[in-house]
Structure 1
Amino acid sequence: MLYNEDEFLQLSGIQHFAFCRRQWALAYIEMQWLENVRTVEGKILHENAHNPSLKEKRGDLLIVRAMPIHSCEMGVSGECDIVEFHKDKDGVPLSGREGTYRAVPVEYKRGKPKTDDVDLLQVTAQAMCLEEMLCCTIPYGYIYYGETKHRLKVEFNEEIRTKVKNIFAEMHKYENQQYTPKVKTSKKCNACSLKDICLPVLNKKKSVASYIDKMISEEEEQ
């Protein structure tokens, strides 16, 4: 199945969806959003990385910022913070450039490396879009973390690629149904910029059915 352009989802949404399906739905389906310190810091970090006027050439290395990407197979579109094109005899040709190049995506994040794969999912999705657009294979990329000022090399194996495809398929399902799921509360709710909209504390309240059952039980015991 191939998606039309008007069906494309925002690629960047995969990190929100992986963090919390409800957060993603509130932001991308219901179009609700609030800023917090983390989101503001993230925007500042991305300002230079997303400046499309900044292109660099260092010998056999070409650096392209804010490169638009898409995938008809996954039905997503977005931008790469940075794509490094390394001159390589086994690479792909680029319009207006001599020789062939190997593409390496670099994603910028404000914090430090995480214990989960949320950041890896996003840069893997970028690599998969680039592969579809350039007809090439991209085995690895990098994630630059602002807190450590260091970039981490990440491999794009079949397991993470399959997970990316499955997540986008689930995102399309929710988008088509215009469905905002409920989720269990956890510690990460405190760091969410949408907690005042989501109101996760309400999810801790008992359901009406549980309340009625409790009242009936109390009456029978009297």
Structure 2
Amino acid sequence: MNPPHQHRGAAVAEPVQVPISALEHHTYCPRQAGLILLEDAFADDAATVRGTILHERVHTPGHETRPGTKTLRALPLWHDTLGLTGVCDVVEIRRRTITPVEHKSGRYQPGGPGDVQVAAQAMCLEAMFDTTIDTAVVWSATDRRRHEVAVDAALRATVEATTVAVRAMLTAAALPAAPADKRCRRCSMAESCMPKVLAGDRRYRQALADLYRTPTDEPPTPT
């Protein structure tokens, strides 16, 4: 980590570092990201286990070379200005291009969380290698194919906005509200999240308020 920047003799602290993987979680569901980052909570299901198995090979650091292409696996990434850190599954280096490749076990969703994650990786690589990356790739094990992602201005803005949102959540240490929508049916963390209990439940909020009520909060007794 670089030392704090100096400004008129005073040290300016670096921004809270945001894991690149958190951008994907936050894009899918801010509460899911909060449970993982703030409460160190995570639960496996069939999909997450498949993802873990898939990443065992690509997360083993190393490289290979074939004519015209050098492939790096598990490359550490960072972006000092955005305050992002993480690891890229695969980076393909050709003579004039650098391409991050994010491996996913599930079906590819155009414009989904995976696009935000791989675009953040591209932006980190740009800063690290002083280059420009217009295209990234999400490889889907379900589809058995590569999906190109245009790293355009709109997607870059989404990466920056999501980074700010995750950093704000980490700084405030406040767990986002449960959405209680169709996303919950596919989420491995639904049991620990309890979305149906927490989302917009007035009785729950009242019970929580009563639980932490102090004597000074009690209304005065009529005389």
TM-score class, shorter-chain normalisation, is 0.7 to 0.9
Q: SS at the partner of 1:68?
A: strand
Aligned residue in 1 for 2:117: 122
Tell me whether 1:21 sits opposite 2:16 in the alignment.
no
Aligned residue in 2 for 1:57: 65
Q: Structure 2 stretches of 5 or more lacking a match?
A: 6-11, 207-223
What CA distance in whole angstroms lies between the structure 2 residues aligned with 1:108 and 1:210?
Answer: 40
What CA distance in whole angstroms lies between the structure 2 residues aligned with 1:161 and 1:205?
Answer: 33
Tell me whether 1:159 sits opposite 2:154 in the alignment.
yes
**TM-score by structure 2 length?**
0.82
Tell me whether 1:141 sits opposite 2:121 in the alignment.
no
Q: SS at the partner of 1:79?
A: strand
Deviations 1:8-48 (A, max 9, x none): 12111111100100010011111111111111110111111
1:64 partner amino acid: L
Of residues 7, 27, 37, the one that matches 2:46 is: 37
Deviations 1:158-181 (A, max 9, x none): 000001001000110110010101
Tell me whether 1:84 sits opposite 2:79 in the alignment.
no
Name the Cα RMSD after superposition.
2.2
* 1:188 CA drift (Å): 1.4
Conserved in 1, the CA contact under 8 Å of 2:15 and 2:83?
A: no
Q: 1:124 to 1:190 in 2, by over 3 A?
A: same
**TM-score by structure 1 length?**
0.83
* 1:7 CA drift (Å): 2.7
Q: Structure 1 stretches of 5 or more lacking a match?
A: 89-101, 212-222
Q: 1:139 to 1:117 in 2, by over 3 A?
A: same
What CA distance in whole angstroms lies between the structure 2 residues aligned with 1:166 and 1:113?
Answer: 23
1:159 partner amino acid: A
* 1:206 CA drift (Å): 3.7
Q: SS at the partner of 1:183?
A: coil
Conserved in 2, the CA contact under 8 Å of 1:4 and 1:72?
A: no
Conserved in 1, the CA contact under 8 Å of 2:75 and 2:87?
A: yes
Tell me whether 1:132 sits opposite 2:131 in the alignment.
no
Conserved in 2, the CA contact under 8 Å of 1:4 and 1:75?
A: no
Tell me whether 1:186 sits opposite 2:190 in the alignment.
no
* 1:79 CA drift (Å): 0.6
Aligned residue in 2 for 1:93: none
> Across the two proteins, how many residue pairs are aligned to each other?
197
